Structure 1
Amino acid sequence: MIPFVDAHIHLWDLAHIRYAWLTPPFGEDGPNGSVAAIARNYGIADYRADLARWNVVGAVHVDAGADPTQALDETRWLEAIAADDGLPSGIVAYAPLDDPDVDTLLAAQAAHPHARGIRQIVNWHRDPLRRYTPRDVTQDSQWQAGFAKLAAQELSFDLQCYP
């Protein structure tokens, strides 16, 4: 069987970490439409069951949109799963690069052994129904300064944007 590394997975435990986008009420508007069908816990056992026919030898968990105040909680939770299960083998965590305390946030995420990068969704669009962010943060000098600090922590940036 061919070995695969799944480069982008999401796990969540709705009882311990808040994900606003997975919390009712659900609407059809917005870039994702309704997410009611997936608004349930999805852990490593679910992931392994869904991919049982594949030889997944590694997986990278990418920030799943946890409440920003719980971004480190999500990383700690994922580290505990990795210690027990072996997956995820990498974590792309969340940090708001325009935060005045970005140095501390990046250092805290980088301190985790599976942390490999940072994701901050930067999808901005003139059409409010397609927006993920209220403004184009990539044009903000404070965000750009935060972005420039990733390399010092040996963190990559996971880009999700509209072309």
Structure 2
Amino acid sequence: MTADLPVVDTHVHFWDRRRTDLEYGWLDGDGAEATLGDLDGLRAVRYSVPELRADTRMHGVTQVVHMSAATSGHLAETRWLQGLGDETGWPDAIVAGVDLAAPDAAATLDRHREHDRLRGVRDMRDGSVLGDPAFRRGYARLAGTGLVLCHSVGVDHVAAAVALVRAVPDVVLCVDQSGMPESRSPEYLRTWRAALGTLAAEPNVVVKISSLGVHDHDWTPASRRPWIRALVDAFGPDRCLYGSNWPVERLYSGYGDALGVFRAAIGDLSGAEQAAVLAGNARRVFRLEPVPAGP
């Protein structure tokens, strides 16, 4: 049944390296290759809406959420993405890079919020930032805005994340990139499952099932399925979102390969639950209007 259900992809990246107001340091080998692998396959001048539509056109993707990809010029990135969305329809939502601990965080948030596709903010620093008092003050500023924080947290920083979400129950924390599991050993799976289970006990936390290829470049359906199922079991079908981490994950698979494994892994859920995981939850969390059905 899942093959017929539409998808909201909550983790895509666009770039245009011809722009002088944006920088993508990770694409220039700024430490990212140690984790992601050989990036030569990604170093195109542009990856944007036409390229993503080509990659996803046979796979039922109807809406996309853009995760900040620039390493500087985040406000310029939001402005650019808003223009792309207005012109092409994609991205439907923007999650912008914002330093919530910065002294000017409030003013920066206000400038991003001038763009009506903004739905959240992202911080790429490790989970130690979640306990920083300045960051916590910035996080509290999200209350009442409807903006989501996307952060991978990591297994070592769950306690700080729990304290954060309890302090500001009005804000949704989206555990990004599956909590970024860094190993595929059975021992690590148990540790990671326990950590994510602790976060799942908090009602204002959701999880994005994405980026599982980052630390499993030679993945197979058998190696990926336990991680998908562990998150669905911990958070339930009403708090799991699908994300491809595209085109980064193109280094390790085709779009249909990764999505096909995901669809199969949730295939025992009810039809309504599958629809929620693939699209409905993302529409709720990121405040997206459903795409009208075709004729």
Q: CA RMSD in A?
A: 1.8
**Conservation of the 8 A alpha-carbon contact between 1:26 and 1:36:** no
| Residue in 1 that maps onto 2:254 | none
What is the number of equivalent residue pairs in this alignment? 149
Where do residues 130-149 of structure 1 align in structure 2 (5 Å cutoff)? Answer: 136-149=128-141
Shift of 1:94: 0.9
| Residue in 2 that maps onto 1:13 | 16
| Residue in 2 that maps onto 1:133 | none
By percentage of residues, which structure has more helix?
A: 2
Where do residues 97-112 of structure 1 align in structure 2 (5 Å cutoff)? Answer: 97-112=100-115
CA distance 1:15–1:152, change in 2 (3 Å):
same
**Conservation of the 8 A alpha-carbon contact between 1:75 and 1:91:** yes
Where do residues 152-163 of structure 1 align in structure 2 (5 Å cutoff)? Answer: 152-163=144-155
Q: Aligned partners of 2:29, 2:125: CA distance in 1, in Å?
A: 24
Structure 2 alignment gaps of length 5 or more: 156-295
Shift of 1:106: 0.8
Shift of 1:39: 1.9
**Conservation of the 8 A alpha-carbon contact between 2:93 and 2:118:** yes
Structure 1 alignment gaps of length 5 or more: 125-135
Q: Aligned partners of 1:32, 1:99: CA distance in 2, in Å?
A: 28
Q: Which deviations, in whole Å up to 9, do the C-alpha atoms of 1:4-28 show, x marking residues without a partner?
A: 1111111111111211111257774
Q: 1:46 aligns with which of 51, 54, 60?
A: 51
2:111 counterpart letter in structure 1? A
1:22 counterpart letter in structure 2? L
Q: Percent identity?
A: 32
Shift of 1:54: 1.8
**Conservation of the 8 A alpha-carbon contact between 2:26 and 2:32:** no
2:58 counterpart letter in structure 1? R
| Residue in 2 that maps onto 1:56 | 61
Shift of 1:36: 2.7
Q: 1:67 aligns with which of 40, 64, 71?
A: 71
TM-score by length of 2: 0.47
**Conservation of the 8 A alpha-carbon contact between 1:58 and 1:88:** yes
CA distance 1:3–1:161, change in 2 (3 Å):
same
**Conservation of the 8 A alpha-carbon contact between 2:95 and 2:120:** yes
Q: Aligned partners of 1:157, 1:118: CA distance in 2, in Å?
A: 5
Q: Find the structure with the greater CA-based Rg.
A: 2
| Residue in 1 that maps onto 2:229 | none
TM-score by length of 1: 0.83
Partner secondary structure for residue 153 of structure 1: coil
**Conservation of the 8 A alpha-carbon contact between 2:29 and 2:39:** no
**Conservation of the 8 A alpha-carbon contact between 1:13 and 1:42:** yes
